[in-house]
Structure 1
Amino acid sequence: MPARRIGRRYDLIEEIGFGGMGSVWRGYDTVLDREIAVKLIRYTQIHSPTDAAEFAARFRREARITAQIRHHGVPQVYDAVLDADLSEVYLVMELVEGANTLRHYLEPGAPLPIAWAVSVTAQIATALSYAHALPVVHRDLKPDNILLTPGGAVKIIDFGIAALLTAGAPKLTMTGALLGSMPYMSPEQAIGAKPTPRTDLYALGCILYEMLCGYPVFDGAGPIVLHHHASTAPVPPRELRAEVPAELDRLVLELLAKKPEQRPGDAAEVYERLLPLLPPPGSVPGPSEAHLTGMPDPTVIFRRPNAPLRPEQAAPTVQFRGALPATAPISDKVLEQRLEHRLAEFRDLVAAGRTLQAADVLSGILEPAGRVFGADSPRVLELRFDIALARFHGGEFRKARMEFDALAAASARVKGFADELTIECRKFAANCRVELGELTEALSGMRAVLDDVRATQSDGSEVALELRLALGRLLALIGRHAEARTMLSELYEDLLLLRGINDPLTREAEEALERLIDDDPAARGQERS
């Protein structure tokens, strides 16, 4: 199914979320060739031109304010679009790839590890401090609006949405339901008072309580929960879970104070009180802090602060999940039709310079193609090569390198180390390493592939000539000028004999050699002598 284009720029690829405010889509910015999240906002309370004007003003205000929150714990707003007739109202935002909501990790009767809960809360508090400084109040903080990335980072979503949908609206919907999330609603919200930063702190206390105790602070339905929020003292966490530290117990109860002025002064104070409970840098999780297999570890942010991205953390290929829904196995004929369609779309995107979106589109056909043709079939290997090459030209060198390495191994296993596809993958893997600054590994890889080409083809084959030029440039780049000059001089002489002085590759070799001589004083001296 072709992507839907909105705003003449954004392609909607697949729906990844749906709720009362509308839907969220994974999309592509066709100008910048990057993945984005598009939040389509549905608003049904417009009954007159006055309603429309008020909504438009609120939308612009909330979008502008939310875009001012400059913290990695809040997805960035890239664009806000509101058509004159309100037929399209949406926000274009940073896409948080691979994340689940905190709700995904909350199970009734299953408290989370204390260090895990504290680390999540500290990250939320930090992000809130940046928002409250503007000031921006979330108004609807709940586990469904908290994302956890695979690396353990916390992201707060839907800032401004509650204000957008409830400002100027009646307190009750037409069915009598209160706007908001009652398990996390502060006493002042329940009576319609103006939310403040301490309103968010109450919700944060509800979230922390649920993580520590395995149950919401007040359970039940409808008005009963609101009554408890307003009038009932919560059961202290330590009475439900003895290992909860006394200072953490006190903080939770203060966050849940009925009167805003009795809560901590701000989110920064919450963080400071959590700080002694956070795992220190360099520490190792203990047995009691272990989290379930497959869950992200929010403690790693504090155990290994500002840690670098490890190569294995970069996924080699982003699957286009919306291309072929998981259904019964498709026939060869249907697959051929879909493959032809995807390849045509891939070529159009590459021609338009949108290589990363092109790679994403084509990756969606890999799994069904592998099932029908075989994972190591020539068709599938060629698809993988096209995807890796698109990522290379799109500047995703780490992902491209991982795919070229894996593909070279698969191709060598099926076709042999001297096969054209194997050689191409090894060559591009070396080029990726050059772009990533992995020059020693690139040099080793390039020399190895050149040796294999010389052994199976000839020193004057097209692939060998191109590799000799690349190797000469690489030697010059890492400062091995004498070797580079020898390599490029011999290549230039061979090219003059094989192709002539006007051949493009001959001219490239000549320019590389002249540049090397200009940059190397010793070589210039030899030229003069």
Structure 2
Amino acid sequence: MNADAYMPRAGDVIDGRYELTGPLGKGGMAQVWRARDTARAEGGLHDSDTAVKFLRHDSEALYALDSQEQTAEIAVRSARFRREADLLGSLDHPGIPQLYTSGTHQSMPYMVMRLVDGVNLRTFLDEHSPLPMATALAIAVQAIDALKCAHTLPVVHRDLKPANIMIGTTGAVAVIDFGIAKPLRADATRYTAHGSTLGTRGYLAPEQLLERAPTARTDVYCFGCIFYELLTGRPPFPLGEESGLAEKHLSETPLPPSLYTPGIPDPLDDLVLGMLAKQPDQRPTMAEALAVLAPLAPRPGDAEPQPRTHPDPTAPLRLRAGARPHPRPDRPTPAPGGPAPVGGEWLDQREIEDLCARAESEVASGQPGDATARLQGLTERVREEWGERRPVVRRVWQVAADGFRVVGDHGSAADAYHVIAESLISGSGPSDRADQATARLQLAMCQLSFGNLDTAIATVENAGHTAAGLPPEQAARLETLRADVDAQLETHLVDPPGPKPGQES
């Protein structure tokens, strides 16, 4: 162990501007300090406090290793720390702390982030459980919306637990500590020795216990455990049951939450139990969970739930003008000027068709821009004003979905393709059957990014049956797309992402 390793102290200035003011906490691999952004303070700005996270070289786990093992472990921790900084830099959501900068200070890796002032969910539950239903739903909706954003990259957190969810002083919920998060890409570097299980006891998905490759559905299971506790005041399998806890997560179905908390509606019971399904492909996505929860969550104008809690997680939803807990900030903002068919009382079909043509050109060039962003903001509105049968409505949704896919937002693209396939195509003629099969193949292509292989296999097979009954020209187009999806599927089946014997993940 390097006795000269940097130890943070109050008064130290990081990166020439972040002055450390006091420790906020530490874990086995990192410690976090509050810091004052002197540049913002000198500019007269009040929100100058930040959080600075340092890698730890002084943990008990490291002291237990010999010098060679320490060197290897520090290298792995440093690589994980750099990956966490890279991931935070790519995640743009109010429910995920924003990364300001990262680097090294006296050879010690650090990252500077937006400070989340408040309490973690573990402390909040210990003080306020059992929670009012509205409070539990407000926490779940905000956290799931943040995780949905992470999954669009796609990135899996892998260590969801109450201690890694913060409730700010305003009630806003944030998901923190992406230290062992992992990009779900075939080329993602692996930093965990095979044979070690990442995550926290009591909140591990079955596939984590079995040391299998994580997917976005792994996070769904882990958050399902948290959601169960939000609703009932207890985890699905109590942590005090030392013996057999892993076996319960592997094989035992938990009791419905409504048995512990009367009044929980059936859709919530079904959702929680679905999130805790043993097989990953039987769990909903975060987007599907959000679709169930959003209509049940607090709305603007609702009364404050009783008993009161401080902070109040319902406040961001009750006091906000819009219904979404966290509008996505990572989509392009329409530039000023040019036709803007959103300001009038009614949409103009000619303007929308012109916007579609420009957006289609952007998508074809591989660079979705202003027109695509505008269309993506109009999908629900055109559907509400014109119904689901006008061709222009499907065209808007198709261009929006293609734009999301091109920029790598596979979660939003999958949501849009699902709407196209299941709601916007209702005929039974050859053209309708071909279009529906096409949308489902495009949906399957997005779902492959989340490791959903079984659905893709079934979709490819069904598309083959559909193509066999189509006229030659339509069948040829469908078979071309089907072959593309099948090739991607083969790649995932031959070389799935995740740990292999003798490798690291």
SS at match of 2:268: helix
Letter in 1 for 2:274: E
Deviation per CA, 1:80-138: give whole Å up to 9, x if none.
2246x9x41221111122x1011112139942111111111010111011111111111
Q: Offset at 1:37?
A: 0.2
Q: In the alignment, is the contact (CA less than 8 A) between 2:160 and 2:199 conserved in 1?
A: no
Letter in 1 for 2:25: G
Q: Pairwise mapping of residues 270-419 of structure 1 onto structure 2 (< 5 A)?
A: 270-285=289-304, 289-292=305-308, 294-306=309-321
Q: Offset at 1:55?
A: 4.9
Equivalent position to 1:61, from 76, 83, 92: 83
Q: In the alignment, is the contact (CA less than 8 A) between 1:66 and 1:136 conserved in 2?
A: no
What's the TM-score once normalised by structure 2's chain length? Answer: 0.54
Equivalent position to 2:279, from 246, 249, 259: 259
Mapped partners of 1:111, 1:54: distance in 2: 40
Q: Pairwise mapping of residues 180-195 of structure 1 onto structure 2 (< 5 A)?
A: 180-195=199-214
In structure 2, the CA distance between the partners of 1:247 and 1:56, relative to structure 1 (3 Å rule), is same
Mapped partners of 2:128, 2:33: distance in 1: 33
Instruction: Tell me which residue corresponds to 1:141.
Output: 160
In structure 2, the CA distance between the partners of 1:257 and 1:76, relative to structure 1 (3 Å rule), is same
Q: Offset at 1:179?
A: 4.1
In structure 2, the CA distance between the partners of 1:89 and 1:65, relative to structure 1 (3 Å rule), is same
Q: Offset at 1:22?
A: 2.2
Q: Which consecutive unaligned segments of at least 5 residues does structure 2 have? A: 1-8, 42-47, 184-188, 323-505
In structure 2, the CA distance between the partners of 1:48 and 1:214, relative to structure 1 (3 Å rule), is closer
In structure 2, the CA distance between the partners of 1:22 and 1:160, relative to structure 1 (3 Å rule), is closer
Q: Offset at 1:239?
A: 1.3
In structure 2, the CA distance between the partners of 1:291 and 1:29, relative to structure 1 (3 Å rule), is same
Instruction: Tell me which residue corresponds to 1:249.
Output: 269
Structure with the larger RCO, 1 or 2 (CA within 8 Å, 6+ apart): 2
Equivalent position to 2:260, from 231, 240, 254: 240
Equivalent position to 2:237, from 218, 236, 242: 218
Q: Pairwise mapping of residues 18-57 of structure 1 onto structure 2 (< 5 A)?
A: 18-33=26-41, 34-42=48-56, 44=62, 47=69, 55-57=77-79
Q: Offset at 1:53?
A: 5.5
Deviation per CA, 1:420-463: give whole Å up to 9, x if none.
xxxxxxxxxxxxxxxxxxxxxxxxxxxxxxxxxxxxxxxxxxxx
State whether structure 2 residue 81 is matched by structure 1 residue 81.
Answer: no
SS at match of 1:194: coil
SS at match of 2:211: coil
Mapped partners of 2:229, 2:74: distance in 1: 39
SS at match of 2:192: coil
SS at match of 2:25: strand
Note the aligned Cα RMSD (angstroms).
2.8
Instruction: Tell me which residue corresponds to 1:16.
Output: 24
Instruction: Tell me which residue corresponds to 1:398.
Output: none
Mapped partners of 1:149, 1:54: distance in 2: 32
Letter in 2 for 1:143: P
In structure 2, the CA distance between the partners of 1:32 and 1:214, relative to structure 1 (3 Å rule), is same
SS at match of 2:94: coil
Q: In the alignment, is the contact (CA less than 8 A) between 1:109 and 1:214 conserved in 2?
A: no
Larger Rg: 1
Instruction: Tell me which residue corresponds to 2:175.
Output: 156
Q: Pairwise mapping of residues 472-491 of structure 1 onto structure 2 (< 5 A)?
A: none
Deviation per CA, 1:340-377: give whole Å up to 9, x if none.
xxxxxxxxxxxxxxxxxxxxxxxxxxxxxxxxxxxxxx
Mapped partners of 1:228, 1:140: distance in 2: 19
Instruction: Tell me which residue corresponds to 2:112.
Output: 92
In structure 2, the CA distance between the partners of 1:272 and 1:21, relative to structure 1 (3 Å rule), is same
State whether structure 2 residue 126 is matched by structure 1 residue 107.
Answer: yes
Letter in 2 for 1:304: L
SS at match of 2:227: helix
Mapped partners of 1:221, 1:64: distance in 2: 38
Instruction: Tell me which residue corresponds to 2:431.
Output: none
Letter in 2 for 1:156: V
SS at match of 1:40: strand
Instruction: Tell me which residue corresponds to 1:421.
Output: none
In structure 2, the CA distance between the partners of 1:15 and 1:306, relative to structure 1 (3 Å rule), is farther
Letter in 1 for 2:230: M
Mapped partners of 1:93, 1:197: distance in 2: 24
Q: In the alignment, is the contact (CA less than 8 A) between 1:25 and 1:37 conserved in 2?
A: yes
Instruction: Tell me which residue corresponds to 1:3.
Output: 11
What's the TM-score once normalised by structure 1's chain length? Answer: 0.51
Mapped partners of 1:19, 1:221: distance in 2: 24
In structure 2, the CA distance between the partners of 1:7 and 1:125, relative to structure 1 (3 Å rule), is same
Q: In the alignment, is the contact (CA less than 8 A) between 1:12 and 1:27 conserved in 2?
A: yes
Mapped partners of 2:262, 2:130: distance in 1: 12
Q: In the alignment, is the contact (CA less than 8 A) between 1:188 and 1:195 conserved in 2?
A: yes
Letter in 2 for 1:239: L
In structure 2, the CA distance between the partners of 1:267 and 1:297, relative to structure 1 (3 Å rule), is same
In structure 2, the CA distance between the partners of 1:300 and 1:54, relative to structure 1 (3 Å rule), is closer
Q: Which consecutive unaligned segments of at least 5 residues does structure 1 have? A: 173-177, 308-529
Q: In the alignment, is the contact (CA less than 8 A) between 2:155 and 2:182 conserved in 1?
A: no
Mapped partners of 2:243, 2:39: distance in 1: 49
SS at match of 1:241: coil
